[in-house]
């Protein structure tokens, strides 16, 4: 919660919290400040203010409870989004699948080649797969940063369709490392360096099948309320933005513990 929200909500929440014990102690009737006279209301406000000044830590306690409840509500909402869209998230039939296809934990990554945080996350995801041989990774092209992003995504998808998943991953890695603009000459040079048919890929880039795959990814992302990259879905949990390797490993371990507990 930002500082503005804290400033606006904290006094009101604390006052509500304080009102309950005051009501119980004073009367069995429900507490209703509107039934007070103006003098009584002023006295009550003064008591609340004095209490908060003497015990300011209660404001942080109230905010903590509110934030926890908001986080729980958001997690339930995101779990529902995953459930409703599960088939397109995990089994769309066109996304690249790496790591261990039979892994016990699935990570889905929505990524954009022009996104600096996607580039930062890329080698760390690779390291996670190297260290943990039981993760299934699904990579979804999600170009949201302009025409250059879209061009790079078309090139990658066209490579998948013409040369298969192994060639796609090589192109995927190369595009993540690329520093210049994805011009036709630059993409041709990448394809030739990797021993791929650059002309065939370039021709396929304009195919309707390529556009359909990218459009489906974008529509799915919109339904999932993904407005930034990278975004990860690990089983039924969202991680929005760059996540360090150790944090991702910790979440994978937590998910495995929860699965083990459910099985028992």
* Structural domains of the chain, with CATH: 3-84 (no CATH), 87-263 (3.40.30.10)
Residue 242 CA to residue 39 CA, distance in Å, equals 54
CB burial readout 230-248, b (16+ within 10 A) else e? bbbbbbbebbbebbeeeeb
pLDDT of 25 strictly over 60? no
The pLDDT value given to residue 128? 97
Asked if 255 contacts 235 with a C-beta cutoff of 8 angstroms, the reply is yes
Question: Interhelix angle for 38-54 vs 3-26, to 10°?
Answer: 120
Residue 182 CA to residue 159 CA, distance in Å, equals 15
Residue 105 CA to residue 235 CA, distance in Å, equals 7
Of the candidates 214, 225, 218, 216, the residue with the CA atom closest to the CA atom of residue 80: 225
Backbone angles phi, psi at 91, to 5 degrees: -145, 50
**55 compared with 184, residue with greater pLDDT:** 184
Question: Reduced to 3 DSSP states, what percent helix, strand and coil does the chain have, rounded to the nearest 5?
Answer: 65, 10, 25
The pLDDT value given to residue 222? 94
pLDDT of 182 strictly over 80? yes
β-pair partners for 105: 135
- pTM of the predicted structure, to 2 decimals: 0.72
CB atoms within 10 A of CB 30: 7
CB atoms within 10 A of CB 144: 18
Which residues fall within 8 angstroms of residue 114, CB to CB, at 6 or more apart?
143, 145, 146, 148, 149, 152
Confidence of residue 78 (pLDDT cuts 50, 70, 90): confident
Residue 119 CA to residue 162 CA, distance in Å, equals 25
Of the candidates 169, 139, 171, 159, the residue with the CA atom closest to the CA atom of residue 205: 159
Q: What is the mean pLDDT of residues 1-19?
A: 46
Residue 133 CA to residue 123 CA, distance in Å, equals 16
Q: Report the Cα–Cα distance between both ends of the chain, in Å, rounded.
A: 37
pLDDT, one tens digit per residue, over 195-235 is 999 999 999 999 999 999 999 999 999 999 999 999 999 99
């Amino acid at each position: 919660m930002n500082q503005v929200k804290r400033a606006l909500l904290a006094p009101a929440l604390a006052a509500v919290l304080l009102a309950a014990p005051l009501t119980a102690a004073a009367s069995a009737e429900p507490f209703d400040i509107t039934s007070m006279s103006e003098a009584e209301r002023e006295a009550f406000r003064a008591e609340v203010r004095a209490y908060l000044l003497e015990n300011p830590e209660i404001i942080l306690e109230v905010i903590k409870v509110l934030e926890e409840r908001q986080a729980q509500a958001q997690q339930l909402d995101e779990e529902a989004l995953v459930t409703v869209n599960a088939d397109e998230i995990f089994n769309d039939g066109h996304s690249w699948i790496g790591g261990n296809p039979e892994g016990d934990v699935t990570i889905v990554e929505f990524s954009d080649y022009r996104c600096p945080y996607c580039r930062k996350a890329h080698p760390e995801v690779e390291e996670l797969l190297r260290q943990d041989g039981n993760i299934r990774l699904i990579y979804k092209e999600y170009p949201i940063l302009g025409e250059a992003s879209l061009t790079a995504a078309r090139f990658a998808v066209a490579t998948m369709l013409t040369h298969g998943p192994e060639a796609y991953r090589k192109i995927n890695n190369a595009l993540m490392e690329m520093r210049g603009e994805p011009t036709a000459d630059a993409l041709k040079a990448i394809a030739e360096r990797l021993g791929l048919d650059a002309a065939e890929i370039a021709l396929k880039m304009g195919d309707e099948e390529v556009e359909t795959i990218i459009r489906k990814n974008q529509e799915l992302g919109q339904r999932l309320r993904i407005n930034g990259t990278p975004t990860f879905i690990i089983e039924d949990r969202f991680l929005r933005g760059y996540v360090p390797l150790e944090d991702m490993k910790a979440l994978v371990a937590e998910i495995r513990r929860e699965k083990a507990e459910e099985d028992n």
